[in-house]
């Protein structure tokens, strides 16, 4: 049976075995630490319900149109992200240099991969910590039973002080990512999506039920779904726009790359809607999963990026089955992080294969070695740090370590600029008939999507860019 993504008259290329595989892989690409870590942190720091409501609106009006734009470029181009953009541009009578927009995405994916695997290493560290404690306390014991909260809060700073361990964990997570990407689309990437994503969803639902049964459920629901519009300040609105953009992993050419493996029988409009809906649902359920546990422990939900790696381990301390829930929680996070890191590695790997005409395995290894070097520098930049400042929660580049600098340049420059150029390209440059034949939309939905891509999305993304550069 021919794989999806093969083109007529050409040698068969890699592709998804089914529409379901494509959807699961795309959801896996989008669902990651941005949903489980950044969304609860952003919601906690920005007033809860007002932020959540505006975030959902931004996903529908900004995230989804850009997601569909990226996917249709890839499906039509049937190549790596830059080559797909180049083909669409040439067919539209435009300059081939529009491929620079995807080139920025490929660069961003490579840079993000290098420090994303560092955070993946932290997740592996916490799995080990909770597994060790599970053997000591048993299934019914609380996590870190009998130890003061200060000991638990020091776990991450202690890890930061061990440069060798940090680098080793980074390499371990990157090695697992490399293994699956090197196995190919159907044999590796699709396998990760079709097995780990269902397991991830099952764990997320089970832990959420546990949190509601043992934690502060009513307080959580009131916090997340009570819409106090007095809290909907310009700062909160901009934070919601940014979270919608980053949650869907836009601007890193991932959806262009994955779209290139999709067959012509896939309705991209409907599929993009499913992907965006699933991603948003995960973010909301993550809040319902995490906040009951944090509220019940009397901890602050506005702890920012330390919510997952400092507040939650403390919250697990005296809960029933705390150690077991700690293991399950961080295994769930590892699944989400892996499906995203696989997508990040696939983007530059696909480009390297095509650009230098070499096989998948050597291409993936070359990219992984480069990411390992940058990742080691990122990991070591935390060595002996006394504070906790990961993933873009710092005021200026000048105060950043290497990890923060990579995150800053990708989040504040590469990703928004690449997404802006995508909107301009699809909305104004690409041939209308070509775009219409790929997007799977009809009637009013098609007109709305075109309006959003041409006007609202670029303006919102420009706002993200301006604020990011001025902060």
Give the number of other Cβ atoms within 10 Å of residue 241's Cβ. Answer: 23
d(CA 354, CA 375): 25
Assess whether pLDDT exceeds 50 at residue 8.
Answer: no
d(CA 50, CA 52): 5
Fold of 19-470: Sodium/glucose cotransporter (1.20.1730)
pLDDT at 298: 83
Assess whether pLDDT exceeds 80 at residue 76.
Answer: yes
pLDDT digit string, tens, across residues 366-405: 999 999 999 999 999 886 443 444 444 333 333 448 898 8
Select the more confidently predicted residue: 319 or 176: 176
pLDDT digit string, tens, across residues 167-185: 999 999 999 999 999 999 9
**Mean pLDDT along residues 338-347:** 97
pTM for this model (two decimals): 0.92
d(CA 205, CA 247): 19
At residue 141, the 3 state secondary structure works out as: coil
d(CA 351, CA 422): 18
Please say whether the beta carbons of 106 and 253 come within 8 A: yes
pLDDT at 386: 38
Q: Which residue is associated with the tokens 């994955």?
A: 258
- Separation of first and last alpha carbons in the chain: 53
pLDDT at 1: 30
Percent of residues, the chain, with pLDDT higher than 70: 90
pLDDT band of 37, cuts 50, 70, 90: confident
**Mean pLDDT along residues 5-34:** 78
pLDDT at 58: 95
d(CA 202, CA 196): 10
pLDDT digit string, tens, across residues 189-233: 999 999 999 999 999 999 999 989 888 899 999 988 888 888 888
**Mean pLDDT along residues 444-452:** 95
What Cα–Cα distance (Å) separates residue 430 from each residue in 5, 95, 106, 424, 448? 21, 10, 20, 9, 17
Average pLDDT, the chain: 88
Please say whether the beta carbons of 330 and 126 come within 8 A: yes
Signed CA dihedral, 468, 385, 107, 78: sign only: negative
d(CA 26, CA 343): 9
pLDDT at 145: 65
Percent of residues, the chain, with pLDDT higher than 90: 61
Any idea what the Cα angle at residue 209 is, between residues 205 and 211, rounded to 5°? 115
Q: For the chain, which residues make up each domain, given as ranges? A: 19-470
**Mean pLDDT along residues 281-289:** 92
pLDDT at 274: 96
**Mean pLDDT along residues 28-56:** 88
């Amino acid at each position: 049976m021919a794989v999806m993504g093969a083109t007529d008259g050409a040698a068969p290329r890699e592709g998804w075995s089914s529409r379901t595989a494509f959807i699961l892989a795309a959801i896996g690409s989008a669902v990651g630490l941005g949903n489980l870590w950044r969304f609860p942190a952003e919601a906690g720091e920005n007033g809860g319900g007002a932020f959540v409501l505006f975030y959902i609106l931004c996903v529908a009006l900004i995230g989804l149109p850009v997601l569909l734009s990226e996917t249709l470029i890839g499906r039509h181009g049937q190549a790596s992200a830059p080559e797909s953009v180049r083909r669409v541009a040439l067919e539209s009578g435009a300059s081939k240099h529009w491929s620079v927009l995807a080139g920025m995405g490929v660069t961003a994916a490579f840079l993000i991969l290098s420090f994303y695997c560092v955070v993946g290493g932290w997740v592996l560290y916490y799995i080990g910590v909770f597994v060790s404690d599970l053997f000591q306390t048993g299934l019914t014991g609380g996590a870190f039973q009998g130890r003061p909260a200060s000991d638990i809060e020091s776990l991450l700073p202690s890890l930061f002080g061990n440069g060798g361990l940090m680098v080793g964990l980074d390499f371990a997570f990157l090695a697992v990512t490399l293994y699956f990407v090197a196995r190919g689309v159907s044999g590796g990437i699709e396998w990760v999506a079709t097995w780990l994503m269902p397991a991830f969803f099952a764990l997320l639902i089970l832990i959420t039920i546990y949190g509601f049964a043992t934690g502060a459920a009513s307080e959580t629901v009131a916090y997340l779904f009570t819409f106090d519009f007095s809290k909907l300040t310009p700062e909160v609105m901009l934070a919601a726009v940014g979270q919608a953009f980053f949650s869907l992993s836009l601007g890193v050419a991932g959806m262009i790359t994955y779209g290139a493996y999709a067959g012509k029988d896939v309705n991209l409009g409907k599929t993009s809607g499913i992907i965006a809906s699933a991603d948003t649902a995960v973010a909301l359920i993550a809040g319902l999963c995490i906040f009951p546990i944090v509220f019940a422990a009397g901890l602050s939900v506005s702890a920012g990026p330390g919510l997952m790696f400092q507040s939650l381990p403390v919250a697990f301390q005296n809960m029933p089955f705390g150690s077991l829930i700690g293991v399950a929680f961080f295994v769930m996070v590892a699944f989400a992080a892996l499906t995203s890191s696989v997508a990040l590695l696939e983007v530059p790997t696909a480009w390297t294969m095509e650009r230098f005409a070499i096989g998948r395995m050597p291409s993936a290894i070359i990219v992984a070695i480069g990411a390992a070097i940058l990742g080691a520098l990122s990991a070591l930049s935390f060595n002996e740090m006394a504070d906790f400042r990961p993933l873009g929660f710092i005021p200026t580049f000048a105060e950043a370590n290497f990890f923060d600098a990579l995150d800053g340049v990708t989040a504040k420059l590469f990703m928004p600029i690449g997404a802006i150029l995508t909107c301009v390209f699809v909305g104004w440059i690409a041939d209308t008939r070509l775009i219409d034949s790929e997007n799977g939309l009809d009637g009013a939905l098609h007109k709305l999507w075109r309006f959003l891509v041409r006007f609202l999305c670029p303006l919102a993304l420009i706002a993200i860019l301006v604020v990011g550069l001025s902060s």
